[in-house]
Structure 1
Amino acid sequence: MCLIVFAWRVHPRYPLVVAANRDEFLVRPAQAAHWWPDRPGLLAGRDLEGGGTWLGLSRGGRFAALTNYRDPSRHKPGAPSRGLLVRDALEAGTDAAATLEDLAARAAPYAPFNLLVGDGDALGVLESITGRVRMLEAGVYGLSNGVLDTPWPKLLAARERLAATLRGGLDENALLALLRDDTPAADEHLPDTGVSPEWERWLSPAFIRAPGYGTRCSTLVRFGRDGQVRLREWSWNERGEAAGEIVHDFRVEPRG
């Protein structure tokens, strides 16, 4: 993912609400979210090049999602796919904090990333650029290609719109609208992440359309206090037009 805004223990009915965009090269093949036949209990999209995923859930109520940390000077040719970390987090048998600490100890071979992991009782983030694991208090947060809550214009706008939507009820159309916002940031507010100013402009909206690169899918996730979980995902073509939509509803299985 390249933009994730989420509310943890804010909504009275839904302890975790997530709105996220996956931005990727258009030629990189992927499957929409589905239950993986070779890894029972894992619901996620699948990167057909690297084998991992960018966001996923488990039948046991785990959640994990990852964003890349944008800094071209830290590129690692031949590094393993960071999407494998999401898969490993979803399949781990430890709580969220222990899972994040374990993955932090194994992060060195990977290019920089941020990894969110939740187990239903706790939610935390690993920022590999600092090596820090942070377990989160109740609140509304945003994560893009910096560390948690780096104040980029698209992150600030999306986080505020998520907070406003939660105050008015959980309107999925409003959440999709914030993910589809393709308004670029003004030049004076562009971050400096080591790419050209032209690319900073292309990457500055929540919804990206750039040469050979763009927002490939948008995902909404909600975990209910009653154990009901919903994942709704839209796929977008190279022009940013709708190319598919799926919905998965399931109930968290009791922990054995």
Structure 2
Amino acid sequence: MSDPRISFLVGGVQKGGTTALASFIAAHPDIALPRQKEAHLFDDAAFDPSWSVADIDARYAMHFDAEHARLFGDATPIYILHPVLVRRIAAYNPGMKWILILRHPVERALSHYHMERARGREYLPFWLALACESRRLRAYGDDCSRDSPLSRHSYRLRGDYARQLDVLYGFFPHDQVLVLRNAELSHAPGAVMARVWEFLGVDPPAGDESHPRVFEGHYRRLRRGGLRWRFYEWLFRRELAAQVERYGLHWSAAAD
């Protein structure tokens, strides 16, 4: 039996910088990502747990233009969100390498919220959307379809990194997971990409790497330390505390 076609994932998190990271990775001549960045194979409503590795590879093949790359990956950020998806990926390729790029949970949630507003799929003010989230998601805990409330309105849930890492490390060893931060990619992209190339086991691309700004949402940011910022950090206090206690993820202004 041949090895699985997909050997690494940019598996999260949504609005964490996955588009920029995927664009930098895709520029490497030995690496191929789906032409639309996100294949959404493991969260597809038609996914069948009985599919073999060959079945999954055949479905992945239609997402690629390159046929002879050294490494094939996928950059679908919802994969980290749900334990069922992580379990499916582990069954497909226990040796899968995961790259995660994290962002302060409040800033990630605000960016996600404004994306849904721009798409016409959110009408509540930000504070109320956060307050109502658990009720909105209650009946959709296992619905990973693109139109489900779990996909659209999981502002706090997607920022609960400790919970997601707990699940991921239950299926994959730590040395198959590379955790990055959004601010690091923004401020020192060359250093971050050097870590990515080493993690993937490829040489850096020849010549000077270009790391342009890829996407920035046009919405009003929260002022760090301001009254509204402190209120939203208070709302996220349990998630933030768990990230520090279990994974040493501090989100001070200097660290993130």
Q: TM-score, normalised by structure 2?
A: 0.30
Larger C-alpha radius of gyration, 1 or 2? 2
TM-score, normalised via structure 1 length: 0.30
Higher strand share: 1
The one of the two structures with greater contact order (alpha-carbon pairs below 8 A, sep at least 6) is 2
